[in-house]
Structure 1
Amino acid sequence: MDVILKLLFSSETMELYILDCLAYIMISMAFLTFVTLLFENVPYGRYASSRYGFPVNVKFAWFVQELPAFLVPLCLVFFTSASRTSHLPNQLLLCMYFCHYIQRSLIYPFLIRGGKSTPFLSFLLAIVFCMYNGYLQTRYLSHYAEYPSDWVTHPFFISGGILWLVGWVINVHSDHILRNLRKPGETGYKIPRGGLFELVSGANFFGEIIEWAGFALAGHSIHSLAFAIFTMVVLSCRAVAHHKWYLTKFEDYPKSRKALLPFVF
């Protein structure tokens, strides 16, 4: 892996510069994605369309598209000169990242019940993003990120770590609720009940946004911030689309629920 990186980058200074550029590109992508999603829903699930390519089995799609977000970082941590992995702040931040993607790539896909196929274009773009972001986050944390020795006791790190944990729990619990909406043999959509779904339509999205916002606060870098911004843009647009769909689909949908932010929006 080190050989490949040396072929791609003439020096560590150049690689760090590229990592910074990738972070700013991701922020730009977030803006462009926001504009696009004002006119078009993300083509997956209930919004899937044949014009975005042939359908891919949902379990297969989730497993394959999320796997690079785990495998690429795994290779970067264990098969390169990851000089910063011996430092506690870097270790904890990498653990946050891996904890999410172990669940998302190795556990979540195999718990899916039913679900509509994923259009090939969405599947392909997800693979590219997971490789892109996996490299960006992990390479910076494992080889370049420098924190004070007492960073783990800093208010930014502590509050960010708490936010990450709360968001992760909300995200996993909300996915559990959605997975169990239908009894075996049942089909069709139902109104989510329980947990944070009593307050917002996009409880799972809210949890993941909080999770990566906490990661960005604890990581205190443009790289983690870029990921948090991109996540917020994509998932907030999904939450709004879901909320509008629920209100149209179900006459008895709770009118007190908000789209994403409890009591606010």
Structure 2
Amino acid sequence: MKNLENKVVLVTGGNSGIGFATAKEFRENGAQVIITGRRKQAIDQAAERIGATAYVADQAILQDIEKLAQEIKDRFGYIDVLFINAGITGEGGFIDEASEANFDAVMDINLKGSYFTLSRFIPLLRDGASVVILSSNVATLNMPASSIYQASKAAVNSFAKTAAMELADRKIRVNTVSPGPTRTDVLNKNYDQQTVENIWNKLAAESPLKKIGTAEDVAKMVVYLSGDHASYITGADFVLDGGMGINHS
């Protein structure tokens, strides 16, 4: 059932992984979808595959965000759904080994980028719109060797709740989705296939459900939160990690 028919949806980082799967799910529910990415060829190819509109924009650069907002305002006038998905994990490592370059790279995209994407697109959101921001289950797990990434996502969860309060008068809902390990092609870029499978199997073993999530799992949650049937949900964080948080609580 196409419950988002003709809604205008923006997905940042929509050319691969969770972003692409979610953009595809929105299209299958009848939405008019805009996707962004940093590489023109990749974003154009992704858009062509699902019938979306592509814009090149780097979420870490405020000028790119403001230019994107103006272009979308000029072409579409407004948006009904904003899915802030773009993000990076950065390099792992203990706090005493941290580099300023890694800290800045992660915070620029995950925190600053998410914050100012929301900030600059608020004027384009129609009353009753939905905002969903991709966070991570690590925001509340406090696992060693991941402090910078964890801190960036914990901060995202914090400002999302503030935004939910600030935008409630306009009936704009703001929620976060926090996946655990999610099977995408990201590991294939750095490891051979057997190593990749070993990593996924190890992560699956940490979950009470003994499985890894998929990008489609996350996509369906984001689309659900964006529809009218979720009109009473705001300021919430939805964890999709197969119960990993139970093991670490």
Task: Give the TM-score of the pair, scaled to structure 2.
Answer: 0.26
Give the number of the structure whose residues are more often helix, by fraction.
1
Q: Is the radius of gyration larger for structure 1 or structure 2?
A: 1
Q: TM-score if structure 1 supplies the norm length?
A: 0.25
